[in-house]
Every structure is written in structure tokens, then in C-alpha cells.
Amino acid sequence: MNDTVARTDADAVLRAIRTRRVVRALTAEPVARADVAAVVESARFAPRAGNRRIHLYVAVTDPALLRGLRMVSPGMLQVPTAAVVICVDWDRARRYGFAPTHPGAHVDVGTAAATMLLAAHALGLGAGPVTSFSSTAAATLLGLPEPVRPELIVCLGHPVSAQTPPLRVRPGNAWADVVRWDRGAATHEAAAPGQAAQGPRHAQP
């Protein structure tokens, strides 16, 4: 791969990262099964502790199940036409040495979710994570065995053209305020060497 192609690929990846947003305003148009499958498969390439497969991904497209999930999910502000429920198989996790209090399994839920959100964005879909829901009720709705616990829901759908604006950055919470180089103490040069310490204060999703 030559330098031009590599740079173009890198720019495309960085553009996807920078333009991805949590989307809560969705249309009623169903998401194609192939697109849902592509989003789920992207989790296969997410980093995970020891490359262990202790998670289960449940793709939900049935309207009745989606309504049920929404009823037990106070944090599901959007009305998705598809969703992926990321679960942890705690029996398998324990066999790998993960206690329920060990953060590794939950960190891997986050890396899978982040990867799926980027995949959805690349496919032109709107997506957003939901963590405020009844895990017990969701497990019952989906017929999951007891050791398998839902931990996070990725909502999917087609975004409406007009989205609500992201929350404004609060004073003292700009990106330069939370970045350090080489040391944890605050300095006047929080940005990378050669860059301005204070860049534009972009709103974050």
C-alpha cells in the first residue's frame, strides 16, 4: 500500500470517528437485515481482554420485542427499528477467571459498543447506546438463560434529517482541559507538542 492510499484510508477512519454522533431521532423505516448483520459482525473485530469470547450479541428486529425493550428501558429515548443487546455470559466469564466485580468483561462491552456505533455510522445508520434498562426484564423478553446478562443496548435506525443539537461543552470541560502529555498534573501545554494548547471548544455528543 502506497503512502497516498494509506493516508486516504486513515483520513476516512478519522472522519468517521469525528463525525459520529449519538442519534436519537429516527424514522420508522426498517433497517435492512444485512445492515444489522454488518453492525453485529463489526463487534468481532473489537479489542477484548485476552481475545476471550465471553459475550453474546442478540440482534432484535421484531417490532413487538423492540416495543417491549423500550418499555423496560427508561434511557431509550429513541424509537429504534433494530437493536443489538450486548450480553455477558457470566458462566463462561468465570471459567476464564473473570469475577462479576472484575472490570474486564464490562470494558469489553464498551469496546464492542464503540465499534458497532462506528460501523452503524459508516453504513449511514443512526445509532446510540442505552445503559438505563432493566437487565432482568430484558433477559426475560429475549429468553436468555440465567448466566447470560444484558449489559448494554445499541439502538439502530435511519436518522431523520433534522437532529437535536449536541449538549454544549461546559466551562472548563474543553478537550484541552482533559489531555495531558507525559505527566498527570495540569500544565499550560495540554495539547500535543507543536499544537495550540487551546483549540476550538467543539460540542460533544
**Count of Cβ atoms closer than 10 Å to residue 42 Cβ:** 20
- Considering the domain architecture, whether residues 31 and 60 belong to the same structural domain is answered as yes
* Residue at 88: amino acid letter: V
Cβ burial, residue 163 (10 Å; 0-12/13-18/19+): middle
**Cell numbers linked to 82:** 433494530
Is residue 110 scored above 90 in pLDDT? yes
What is the tally of structural domains in the chain? 2
**Count of Cβ atoms closer than 10 Å to residue 14 Cβ:** 10
Residue bearing the bigger pLDDT, 184 or 192: 184
Query: Which contiguous run of DSSP H or E holds residue 205?
Result: none
Helices (H), 43-134: 63-71, 90-95, 104-122
**Count of Cβ atoms closer than 10 Å to residue 115 Cβ:** 18
- Considering the domain architecture, whether residues 88 and 30 belong to the same structural domain is answered as yes
Residue bearing the bigger pLDDT, 172 or 110: 110
Q: What are the tens digits of pLDDT across the range 19-57?
A: 899 999 899 999 999 999 999 999 999 988 877 889 999
What pLDDT is recorded for position 163? 73
Quote helix, strand, coil % in the chain, to nearest 5.
Answer: 40, 15, 45
The residues that bridge with 153 in the sheet, in sequence order, are 85, 130
Query: Which contiguous run of DSSP H or E holds residue 157?
Result: strand 148-157
Confidence category of residue 178, pLDDT binned at 50, 70, 90? confident
What pLDDT is recorded for position 188? 54
Whole domain around residue 41: which residue ranges? 20-157
**Close Cβ partners of 54 (under 8 Å, ≥ 6 residues apart):** 88, 89, 92, 93, 96, 98, 105, 108
- Considering the domain architecture, whether residues 80 and 96 belong to the same structural domain is answered as yes
**Rounded Cα–Cα distance for residues 180 and 170 (Å):** 19
What pLDDT is recorded for position 201? 43
Helices (H), 73-195: 90-95, 104-122, 135-142
- Considering the domain architecture, whether residues 174 and 149 belong to the same structural domain is answered as no
- Considering the domain architecture, whether residues 107 and 149 belong to the same structural domain is answered as yes
CATH number reported for the structural domain that contains residue 28 in this entry = 3.40.109.10
- Considering the domain architecture, whether residues 90 and 185 belong to the same structural domain is answered as no
Residue bearing the bigger pLDDT, 191 or 21: 21
Distance, C-alpha 136 to centroid of its chain: 21
Query: Which contiguous run of DSSP H or E holds residue 82?
Result: strand 82-89
- Considering the domain architecture, whether residues 197 and 145 belong to the same structural domain is answered as no
- The mean pLDDT of the chain is 87
Within-domain flag for 115? yes
- Considering the domain architecture, whether residues 198 and 151 belong to the same structural domain is answered as no
- Considering the domain architecture, whether residues 39 and 137 belong to the same structural domain is answered as yes
- Considering the domain architecture, whether residues 75 and 100 belong to the same structural domain is answered as yes
Within-domain flag for 9? no
Within-domain flag for 12? no
Within-domain flag for 11? no
